[in-house]
Each structure stands twice: as C-alpha cells, then as structure tokens.
Amino acid sequence: MIDQWRVRETFLRLLRMNTPSGQEGPVADFLEAELRALGFETWRDGAGKAIGGETGNLLARRPGSAPEAPTVLLNAHMDTVAPTEALEIVEEPDGVIRSSGTTILGADDKAGLTAILEGVRAAVAEGFPMPTVEIAFTIAEETGLRGARHLDYSSLTATQGYAFDGGKPVGGIVVAAPSQDNVTAVVHGVAAHAGAAPEKGVSAIRIAAEAISRMPLGRIDAETTANIGVIQGGHATNIVPDRVECRGEARSHDDEKLTRQTRAMTDAFNEAAAAAGGRAEVRVERVYSHFGFTENDPLVRRAVSAASRAGIAEVVTRPGGGGSDANIFNTHGIATVVVGLGYDNVHANNEYMSLADLTTAARVALEILRLAGAERA
C-alpha cells in the first residue's frame, strides 16, 4: 500500500539535496541505502568518470518471485537542471509543494525517484508475485542525457522499461519522442577597422544573420521543429567581426525530415558565407534517436492499465517533443516509454508538484510491478 506520508518525507528529503548535473553523490548514496534495505543488489558504473562527475549511474537489481515474468526496468534521473542550494520549500494547504521562487524546486526528476522508490517499497511490503526489477537512476540527464549515454548496458538484462520523467498529466504515457540533432556553425569573415576601412572587412555577424534569415525555423511541421538558440562573436564595436559561432538544434519524429532540416540549415550557412566572401564550418551531431509505440504495444497497454488501477479515470497517451533517457534506452534495445508525474513549470522557479499527484505516480509504479509479475515473458 502506498504511504502518502512516506511519499512526502522521501520527496522533501530528496529536494533538500543540492544535486545539479555532475554532483549527484548525496542522492545516489541515499537511494543506494534504501534499495539495499529492500533486497536490491546495487552498483555504480563508470559514467561519472567518463563525464567528470562525482558518481556514476546507480544501478540495481532485485530477483523476482515470478520467474516467468518479464524483467522490468524503472528509470529516473538524479540531477536537476540548476543548483538548489538556496532552495526554500513551500508547502501549500492544498498539498502543492513549490519553491519560494528564488530557485527551481527540483521535482524534475526527484518526483520520479520518489515514485519509483515508494512503488518498490509498497510492492515488497505487499508480497505479491513480482518480476525481476532493474533500476537505473542516472546522472547528468539535464546536460545531454550523458548518464544514459555512458551507462554500462551490458550489466542490464531488461528489454522493457519505464522512465518516470514526465510532467502533466500524472499517469500520462509519452509513447513517442523525436530524434534531435545539434547544429554548430562557425562563420569566418575578415576583420577590419569598422571606421577607417570597413570595406576591407567581411562581417561574420552579417553572414550569420543572413543565413539565419534564410533557414526554416520554429514549427516546421507537425513532427519537426528547429531553433538557433546561441550566437557568440565579435570583439569590439570598431572591429568588423571575423568570427561568429551559432548553436542550434533540430528535432523530428521522422529521420528523413530531420535530415532535410539540418541540410537546409547547413546550406543556409554555407551559401550565405560564400556569397559574402567568407566561409562556414558546420557540424551536425546526433544527440539521440526517436522512438515510437502504439497503444496496442504490450509495454503501453501495461502502463495504461497500471494508471487506470492507480485511480486515473482517463489515461492520456501522446507523443512528446523532448528527449529523455528513454530515447537512449530504446536505442540500446530496451523498449521504454515515459510516465507522467504531474509536475508543472519544469526548469523554472515557479515549478511545483502536487503531493496527491506524486502519490498517484507511486501507485502507477506499484501497479506496473503488480501487472508485470502476473505476466509471462
């Protein structure tokens, strides 16, 4: 049985730990002790060393009591998008938990950690036939899914999983997510004195501006988006700038569309540079690849049933527009969807989490394990 008081205490304890990307040690230590007390074997991989962090991914396994049931992976990430050392937690009378507004709350993804831990606690206490459960509490999700990208997948046996890393609505299932490519362009012009001899210069900033004005950006179609988010360059107002760096991204649920979009962005930089007498160096890097499931896939059916059993009257299944550890797990052969926790205003100082929704999310985790334990692989 899910214990709402315990849910609250666990969540608040996790929130009080300042764990931005690369500094997840305190959360990992706490979770590891809790999992061991529940009968899990735990270990940490070398991801922390690979990225220069203070700990690796926390991995765990508990053998099941239903030997024919499929092994299930549960995932959440231990880092927050920004530091929370100055966090002041505010609990509203209606059960909403937020920060005082000076920092983020950190519900993304400490709500996911809480839901999984409480779901497992309740499952162990109830003693129903359980599948083998594997857990991946990852590091550095907020800085490019680096924990999942460096995870030691040879140590996991699950072929299906659930990433507790979604927002509203609680219990909603993200069944698809796009691929993302990062686009980095370094534009080279010719420096000159802007007052004495501007005609001798070629402005890298002007080239970049022309290129960006030509390329399709924003909502390209129902499956594709693109953005230029960072421009850096120039030295002084009296120098024609000879170098500008532009960083952007493109996302799509269709890889052919994504290729067309990044090609259009690349061509825009190259053509604008050539026309002005400069040059451009453009690099396109795949950050993660898309995944997609239907409502008829067993993985999704189980999640929907679990959410219904947790008391959610209408379970929402939808495609998402962002990336998560689930993208990386799917690439490595672990079919994974994202479970909604109910937090809102993610990554902002007005982020909040309802204790009622968090308790429901823990029930979803519990019911996933109950349903999986009754299945045959």
Q: Catalytic site residues?
A: 79, 141
Helix (H, G, I), strand (E, B) or coil at 271: helix
What torsion do the CA atoms of 307, 308, 310, 311 make, to the nearest 10 degrees? 130
**Whole-angstrom distance, CA of residue 297 vs CA of residue 319:** 14
Which residue in the block uniquely carries the two structure tokens 């679990």?
306
φ/ψ of residue 232, rounded to 5: -135, 130
Q: Which candidate, 225, 199, 228, places its Cα nearest to that of 211?
A: 228
**Whole-angstrom distance, CA of residue 343 vs CA of residue 132:** 29
**Whole-angstrom distance, CA of residue 356 vs CA of residue 26:** 26
DSSP 220: E
**Whole-angstrom distance, CA of residue 159 vs CA of residue 360:** 25
Which residue in the block uniquely carries the two structure tokens 């991914």?
57
DSSP annotation string for 135-154: EEEES-GGGTSHHHHT--GG
Task: Give the CB-side neighbour count of residue 144, counting CA atoms within 13 A.
Answer: 11
**Whole-angstrom distance, CA of residue 249 vs CA of residue 227:** 5
Q: Is 235 exposed, middle or buried (0-12, 13-18, 19+ CB in 10 A)?
A: exposed
In one letter, which amino acid is 199? E
